[in-house]
Chain A
Amino acid sequence: MSTPPLPLPVFVALSAALTGVNAAQLNPPIDPIGIANQYLATLTANVSAATLSNLAQTFQSISNPNQAATVILADPVLGPVARSIMKVWLLGSWYNPATPTQAVNVVSAQAYKESLVWKIMQSHPMGYSMFTFGYWAEPPPPLNQFIQPAS
Chain B
Amino acid sequence: MKPSLSHPALLSALGVGAVLLISGACSSASKTGGTSSPSTAPAPSGLPTLSSALPFDVTVPSTPPPTLASLQHDFDLMSWQTFVAMNWPVLPNGQPNPSQQPGQHGDNATVWETWKDASEIFLPNGAPPAPWGSPIAPPSFLPAACRGLFKPGMRVLSQVGKTPNVLTESIQPFNTGPLIDQNGRYARFDILVNQSMFETIVSNQLYNKQAQQGIKSVVFDCGDATKQQVGAIMVKSAWKILSPAEKQSGRFHTLEALIYTPPSTTPPIKENCERATVGLVGFHIVHKTLGAPQWVWSTFEQVDNCPTEGVPPSKASYNFYNKNTPAAPINTPPPRPWDPNTTEPPARRPQIVRIAAIDTATQQLNASWQAALRAVNPRSVWQYYELVSTQWPTAPAPACDVATSAPANMSGTPAPQFLANTCLESYIQGKVPNTSSSCIECHLNATTTSAAFSDFTYLLQRAQ
* Majority secondary structure of chain A interface residues (helix, strand, loop or mixed): loop
Check A109/B433 contact, CB under 8 A, given A32-B413, A145-B1: yes
Tally of contact residues, A, Cβ under 8 A: 25
Contact A30 B394 (CB under 8 A): yes
Smallest Cβ-Cβ distance to B6: which chain A residue: A29
Contact A32 B434 (CB under 8 A): no
Contact A132 B3 (CB under 8 A): no
Contact A130 B2 (CB under 8 A): no
Contact A130 B3 (CB under 8 A): no
Smallest Cβ-Cβ distance to B216: which chain A residue: A134
Distance A134 CA – B403 CA, assembled complex (angstroms): 13
The size class of the interface chain B forms with chain A is: 20 to 34
Of the listed stretches B65-73, B95-103, B106-114, B233-241, chain A binds: B65-73
Choice from A28, A128, A133, A146 contacting B434 with Cβ under 8 Å: A128
Distance A2 CA – B329 CA, assembled complex (angstroms): 45
The minimal Cβ–Cβ distance linking A134 to chain B, given in whole angstroms, is 7
Contact B453 A132 (CB under 8 A): yes
Distance A131 CA – B68 CA, assembled complex (angstroms): 25
Contact B394 A28 (CB under 8 A): yes
Distance A1 CA – B122 CA, assembled complex (angstroms): 62
Smallest Cβ-Cβ distance to A131: which chain B residue: B410
B415 at the binding interface (Cβ < 8 Å): yes
Choice from A128, A132, A145 contacting B447 with Cβ under 8 Å: A132
Smallest Cβ-Cβ distance to A128: which chain B residue: B434
B407 at the binding interface (Cβ < 8 Å): yes
Choice from A31, A140, A146 contacting B68 with Cβ under 8 Å: A31
Choice from A25, A132, A146 contacting B5 with Cβ under 8 Å: A25
A144 at the binding interface (Cβ < 8 Å): yes
Distance A110 CA – B430 CA, assembled complex (angstroms): 13
A24 at the binding interface (Cβ < 8 Å): yes
Interface residues of B in 130-158 (CB under 8 A from A): none
Smallest Cβ-Cβ distance to B69: which chain A residue: A30
B411 at the binding interface (Cβ < 8 Å): yes
A4 at the binding interface (Cβ < 8 Å): no
Smallest Cβ-Cβ distance to A29: which chain B residue: B6
Q: Closest 9 A-B residue pairs measured CB to CB? A: A32-B415, A145-B408, A132-B453, A141-B408, A130-B411, A133-B451, A113-B433, A30-B394, A141-B407
User: Which residues of A are interface residues toward B (Cβ below 8 A)?
Assistant: 24-25, 28-33, 109-110, 113, 127-134, 140-141, 144-146, 148
User: Which residues of B are interface residues toward A (Cβ below 8 A)?
Assistant: 1-3, 5-7, 66-68, 71, 394-395, 403, 407-411, 413-417, 431-434, 441, 444-445, 447, 451-453
8 further A-B pairs in the complex, CB-CB below 8 A; given A24-B5, A32-B415, A33-B413: A28-B413, A30-B68, A32-B413, A131-B407, A132-B453, A145-B407, A145-B408, A148-B3
Give 23 CB contacts A-B under 8 Å: A24-B5, A25-B5, A28-B395, A29-B6, A30-B7, A30-B394, A32-B414, A32-B417, A33-B417, A109-B432, A109-B433, A128-B434, A130-B411, A130-B444, A131-B407, A132-B410, A134-B451, A141-B407, A144-B2, A145-B3, A145-B407, A145-B409, A146-B3
